[in-house]
Amino acid sequence: MLKQFLNLKLSQKLSPQQIQLMKLIQLPTLAFEQRIKQELEENLALESGKDNEAKQLDEEFKDNDFEDSDQIQAEDINIDDYLSDDEIPDYKLRSNNYNPDNDDKTIPYASGVSFTQYLTSQLNTFRLDDESCLIAKFLIGSIDDSGYIRRPLIDLIDDLAFTQNIYTDIKKIEEILHVVQRLDPSGVGARNLNECLLIQLKRKDQSTSIRLAIQILENAFDQFTKKHYQKLLKKFNVSEEKLKESIQEIERLNPKPGNSFSNNIRSIEHVVPDFTIEILDGELKLTLNSRNAPQLHISKSYNEMLEGYKASKDKSKTQKEAIQFIKQKLDSAKWFIEAIQQRQQTLFVTMSAIMNYQKPYFLSGDEEQLRPMILKDIADEIGMDISTISRVANSKYVNTPYGTKLIKEFFSESMTNADGEEVSTIEIKSILKSVIAQEDKKKPLTDEKLAGILKKKGYPIARRTIAKYREQLDLPVARLRKEI
Helix (H) or strand (E) holding 357: helix 317-357
CA distances from 46 to 94, 290, 388 (A): 18, 19, 27
What is the C-alpha to C-alpha distance for residues 267 and 110, in angstroms, rounded to an integer? 7
Report the CATH superfamily, name and number, of domain 413-484. Homeodomain-like (1.10.10.60)
CA of residue 211 relative to chain centroid, distance = 43
Q: What is the predicted pLDDT for the residue at 314?
A: 63
Q: What are phi and psi of 424, to 5 degrees?
A: -80, 145
Hey, how many other C-beta atoms are within 10 angstroms of the C-beta on 385? 11
Which among 393, 358, 360, 363 has a CA at the least distance from the CA of 375? 393
Assign 3-class secondary structure to 14-57: CCHHHHHHHHHHCCCHHHHHHHHHHHHHHCCCEEECCCCCHHHH
Q: What is the predicted pLDDT for the residue at 387?
A: 83
Q: Give 162-181 as a DSSP string.
A: III-----HHHHHHHHHHHT
Could you give the residue ranges of the DSSP H alpha helices within 161-299? 170-180, 193-202, 208-219, 221-225, 229-236, 240-251, 257-265
SS3 455: helix
Hey, how many other C-beta atoms are within 10 angstroms of the C-beta on 279? 14
SS3 95: coil
Q: What is the predicted pLDDT for the residue at 100?
A: 46
Length of the chain: 484
Q: Are 317 and 351 in contact (CB under 8 A)?
A: no
What is the C-alpha to C-alpha distance for residues 227 and 150, in angstroms, rounded to an integer? 26
Hey, how many other C-beta atoms are within 10 angstroms of the C-beta on 147? 25
Residues linked to residue 400 through DSSP beta bridges, in sequence order:
403
Q: Beta strands 283-288 and 46-48: pairing type?
A: unpaired
Dihedral sign of CA atoms 228, 229, 232, 237 in order: negative
Q: What is the predicted pLDDT for the residue at 20?
A: 66
Which among 382, 393, 376 has a CA at the least distance from the CA of 356? 382
Q: What is the pTM of this model?
A: 0.52
Give burial (CB, 10 Å; 0-12/13-18/19+) of 154: exposed
Q: What is the predicted pLDDT for the residue at 103?
A: 42
Q: Beta strands 275-280 and 397-400: pairing type?
A: parallel
Which among 252, 218, 251 has a CA at the least distance from the CA of 235? 218
Could you give the residue ranges of the DSSP H alpha helices within 122-192? 130-141, 153-159, 170-180
Q: What is the predicted pLDDT for the residue at 270?
A: 66
Q: In the chain, which residues fall in CATH 1.10.10.60?
A: 413-484
What are the pLDDT tens digits along the chain (484 aa)?
566 767 665 554 556 666 767 777 777 777 777 888 888 887 777 777 655 444 444 444 344 443 333 333 333 444 344 443 443 444 444 444 445 444 444 444 445 577 888 888 888 888 888 888 888 888 888 888 888 888 888 888 888 888 888 888 888 888 988 988 898 888 888 889 899 999 998 888 888 888 888 888 888 888 888 888 888 888 888 888 888 888 888 888 888 888 776 555 444 456 778 889 999 988 999 988 877 667 777 777 776 776 666 666 666 677 677 777 777 777 777 888 888 888 888 888 999 999 998 898 898 888 777 788 888 888 888 888 888 888 888 778 888 988 888 888 888 766 666 666 666 677 778 888 888 888 887 788 888 888 888 888 887 888 888 888 888 788 888 777 777 7
SS3 10: coil
Q: What is the predicted pLDDT for the residue at 57?
A: 43
Compute the radius of gyration of the chain from its Cα atoms: 33
